[in-house]
Structure 1
């Protein structure tokens, strides 16, 4: 009996020593990213309730949310008072888009520890996904509890930006930037606030701050281009739109705007190139775009091509009287016979006598008749 007792004690002692070794081995595998093997080793532990949460984390790491949820539920049954496990489980439910269950769990956590700002924030995120307007109350509670909570600040500041309450949005953004001056999300909101307030000077400063911090997006470059154009800095506006084209090479609007900016810089050849590229891509009524191309061609004294462009504009929109008048002006430059020009202007004036273009036609008819008279005297 004595030998049997000693044997059982030794076996028990050996198992007691072995279990920490199992945990150490599994934890090491997990820490080194070998999650599947870690799960296998965790499952050999004699007390499953001690490792359910660890197995759940490993399943999350390999993207198996269903088994992770199963293990978190088992862990909570074994450890009902462990708030950390509940919190991790609730976050997983949110990630797995099980928002109703996540909301219940986060709400319980808020009730258990109302002064934890992250519980409020995470509940707000879930309520937001559910379309519940009370989400903003949770974000503001998180901020009230921790005025350095960057994620909560972003949510509140963005809410006020959308509501066009710019001063309130600035207030929260500035508070966030006090504790984290390079928060890219808040800097972006700052730039957008100024942009929608038509404060383009400050908007440019903050959008350029984003770029200086390594940010680059179609949205940023598009807005910067528009702002540069507001200040007639067309070269800078073109640079930004060319960056937009790196994200979307077939952006017909960007191509067209580049063309108009080159026109403003009096680089009509490049203006023609970009406007033509835009026209090839657009699949909408193009009377304005063809009209702009005609103007650019006229500037280069390509009157025949300009007439063709204006005719296309008129074909796109037969009621576009301005295109019809541009055709007339181009023919005035292109044709040499004065009588033909006079007749063209007279026909136009008679057809569009109720428009202000008729006044221009009358003035040009007078000029042409005077020119004809002077030539006759010669």
Structure 2
């Protein structure tokens, strides 16, 4: 009896010692992990070898960017513990991150069918569907997340962003406003609301939301650009000019800012200022600029500079020969500038030759003018 008690006591002491040693080893590994010493942490966790340690090994590999080993470790854990939802969820997110979309979808589909109703599972399932352009399934998943948690901001944002992109303003605002009720200063949601109105041509309604973004410190070029355009379209010229001037502080937006200033001054009939800024826009722009040349053409014409106006419209047409209207303007200006009727006739005939499918009203106008010039030539000839 005494021997039995001694043996039991010895086993208890041994077990306590082993448990204590394991606890100590786990504490060391946890400390290494917390400090970001992942390589040493992996070795320490490997000595412990339980489920929790194996999970931390997978996380450590993920943290150092060794995604293949991390995925292999997570997979090994799930093979031994198929109901370990936390490991499955982390693996799903890693698979999504590494663009392994099909296996990621498998992970999240298992999770959403489990008894635990977690909106995060549906959100990441939606993200995965989004990545493979299955928009309908993605939105269904996001809506499931919102049904479970009406304050799930990322799902609300995903739905709002989708409907803003589709320019379905009313549907977008349903989800955006829900998000703003939960967090009124969320800049991503405020930006979506501004864009919902902006894309719908409701510039006056978009203005306060772009202004709010600036108040919250979002002094980014796209905010200034869109706000300036809203002021311009809402006809608040002083605010538009001020905002476009602020946009000039961003070097890659100089061309846009100068073009905007040119548009405002042009509408204000300050032609010299309009010409100055449009010319500066052309100097800054690295790509094609038919719109700016056409604007300069209009300005030159209003200033009575017919030949200069014609030259600008020629440049506009040369940059984009699909725009027949710019060449029509060349014809009209040539008609005003040249005295020789045959020269003027040549421009109009070339227009019909290059663009046989002109819109009916313009084709009729051109043909009528050709007839008039031919009659003029006939009269002079006689």
Common fold: TM-score over 0.5: yes
1:233 equivalent among 233, 236, 239? 236
> Which residue of the partner structure matches residue 355 of structure 2?
none
> Which residue of the partner structure matches residue 327 of structure 2?
320
Asked whether the equivalents of residues 285 and 317 of structure 1 are also in contact (C-alpha less than 8 Å), the reply is: no
2:140 equivalent among 117, 127, 137? 137
Distance of aligned partners of 1:243 and 1:76 in 2 relative to their CA distance in 1, 3 Å threshold: farther
TM-score (norm 1): 0.75
> Which residue of the partner structure matches residue 263 of structure 1?
266
Distance of aligned partners of 1:308 and 1:126 in 2 relative to their CA distance in 1, 3 Å threshold: same
Shift of 1:148: 0.7
Describe how 1:1-378 pairs up with structure 2 within 5 A: 13-45=16-48, 47-113=49-115, 115-132=117-134, 133-247=136-250, 249=252, 252-265=255-268, 267-280=270-283, 281=285, 283-284=287-288, 286=290, 289-293=292-296, 296=299, 307-308=307-308, 310-314=310-314, 317=317, 320-323=327-330, 351=345
Distance of aligned partners of 1:198 and 1:17 in 2 relative to their CA distance in 1, 3 Å threshold: same
Asked whether the equivalents of residues 153 and 176 of structure 1 are also in contact (C-alpha less than 8 Å), the reply is: yes
Greater CA deviation, 163-172 or 8-17? Answer: 8-17
**Number of equivalences:** 338
* Structure 2: distance between partners of 1:292 and 1:157: 37
Shift of 1:254: 4.2
Note the residue ranges of structure 1 that are not aligned, 5 or more in a row.
332-343, 359-378
SS state at 2:20 partner: helix
For the aligned residue pairs, the C-alpha RMSD in angstroms reads 3.6
SS state at 1:249 partner: helix
Shift of 1:99: 1.3
Shift of 1:180: 1.2
Distance of aligned partners of 1:101 and 1:208 in 2 relative to their CA distance in 1, 3 Å threshold: same
* Structure 2: distance between partners of 1:83 and 1:294: 67
Greater CA deviation, 116-125 or 165-174? Answer: 165-174
Asked whether the equivalents of residues 221 and 253 of structure 2 are also in contact (C-alpha less than 8 Å), the reply is: no
Shift of 1:250: 6.3
Note the residue ranges of structure 2 that are not aligned, 5 or more in a row.
319-325, 349-363, 370-382
Asked whether the equivalents of residues 234 and 264 of structure 1 are also in contact (C-alpha less than 8 Å), the reply is: no
* Structure 1: distance between partners of 2:260 and 2:342: 31
SS state at 1:255 partner: helix
CA deviation string 1:125-166 (max 9, x = no partner):
112212223222111111111111111111222333344432
Shift of 1:325: 5.5
SS state at 1:276 partner: helix
Greater CA deviation, 52-61 or 267-276? Answer: 267-276
CA deviation string 1:304-359 (max 9, x = no partner):
7x744532433654973545656888x8xxxxxxxxxxxx679699858966998x
Shift of 1:227: 0.8
SS state at 1:215 partner: coil
SS state at 1:311 partner: helix
Greater CA deviation, 199-208 or 344-353? Answer: 344-353
* Structure 2: distance between partners of 1:50 and 1:324: 80
Asked whether the equivalents of residues 290 and 309 of structure 1 are also in contact (C-alpha less than 8 Å), the reply is: no
TM-score (norm 2): 0.74
SS state at 2:252 partner: coil
Shift of 1:122: 1.4
